[in-house]
Amino acid sequence: MDIKFSGNIDFFTNKIRKIIDPFLIEQYKNDKKRSINSAMTIFISKVGIIISAFILIYAVYNKEMQIGTFVFLYGLIASFQSSLSFFF
């Protein structure tokens, strides 16, 4: 017994496309939003690290802070930043 699918292929592909296309569009929007949020949080954290490094280096340069304290604080800030990256 031969079943002909030639007339039904367009029908089934259209039905499948109507189901999958809205899902793919929504997934694309969510991925785009997630990528933008991730890029912004990375940018903000990097700017924070750079600003804190300049403040600490300025304090060491003006002899308001010792090198050991600088290394400790910078390591503390860097580890805090890396632990925060797990949340985002």
Nearest to 71 by CA among 59, 83, 62: 59
Question: Is 3 inside a domain boundary?
Answer: no
**DSSP-derived 3-state class of residue 3:** coil
Task: Give the chain's domain count.
Answer: 1
Q: What's the confidence (pLDDT) of residue 31?
A: 94
Q: What is the pTM of this model?
A: 0.60
Domain that holds residue 26: 9-84
- Give a yes or no: residue 23 inside a domain: yes
In a domain, 27, yes or no: yes
* Rounded distance between C-alpha atoms, residue 33 and residue 25, angstroms: 12
Supply the pLDDT for residue 3: 53
> Please, are residues 81 and 49 in contact by the beta-carbon 8 Å criterion?
yes
> How many H-runs (helices) and E-runs (strands) does the chain carry?
2, 0
Tell me if 69 is assigned to some domain. Answer: yes
Question: Please, what are the averages of pLDDT over each run of 10 residues along the chain (88 residues)?
Answer: 61 84 92 91 85 90 90 86 68
1 inside domain? no
